[in-house]
Amino acid sequence: MNNISTQTLHQSASKHWFIKMSLPLLFITAMVLAPFANASAISADASREQRDTVNRINAIQRDLTSIRQQTLQANPELITQSKELEAKFEQKAKEVGYEPDEFINKAQEIQEQVKDSSLTEKERSELIKEFTAAKQKMAEQRQAIIADKELMTMQEQLQQDMMMAMQEQDPNTEKLVDELNRLIRTIQ
């Protein structure tokens, strides 16, 4: 029972860590795509087809998540391997100064300032330049993390080990992953 509690806590911590590391990308994407969000010109049939595709993607992701959780329960060494990767990532992130929370706060601050109608074009332009510089710095820091061969080798090994264990847990795993990848390509 304690082992399952530990796994659940680790999964929760891993989700929090992943969300924290992913937020800057989501924030940037939202800011870039926001002007286009209302510009959808998809026909009703295409929209229904896309909705069906998205629903199938969600179903596959739920299935894979369930298989992954069962796999982790059956293979605690994968949890250890994941913790080691997370610690190495956090060490590298600290080393290169990767601070997503700081970036998010700064980006939100700039976004609020840009909305101020009393700003001159020059002031607005300076704020946008400041955001662009912060975004570039964040991209360089992420690139430095990705360039770490040991970290990437650890990540690739964990992915391979996880996929093999998931395949052993449920032989349909590979088919599900292939279908998921195919469906994602169709909506891109």
pLDDT at 47: 84
With beta carbons less than 8 A apart as the criterion, state whether 166 and 39 touch.
Answer: no
Kindly report which listed range (13-22, 41-50, 53-62) carries the lowest average pLDDT score: 13-22
**Model confidence, pTM:** 0.63
- Domain boundaries of the chain, sorted by first residue: 51-187
Q: Which ranges constitute the DSSP H helices of the chain?
A: 2-33, 44-74, 76-96, 100-115, 121-146, 149-169, 173-187
* CA dist 169 → 64, 102, 162 (Å): 11, 40, 10
What is 137-181 written as a DSSP string? HHHHHHHHHHT-HHHHHHHHHHHHHHHHHHHHH-TTHHHHHHHHH
Q: pLDDT band at residue 188, thresholds of 50, 70 and 90?
A: confident
Residue-wise pLDDT for 103-140, tens only, equals 999 899 998 898 888 999 999 999 999 999 999 999 99
Q: pLDDT band at residue 45, thresholds of 50, 70 and 90?
A: low
The answer on pLDDT for 9 being more than 50 is: no
Residue-wise pLDDT for 82-111, tens only, equals 999 999 999 999 999 999 889 999 899 998
The answer on pLDDT for 27 being more than 50 is: no
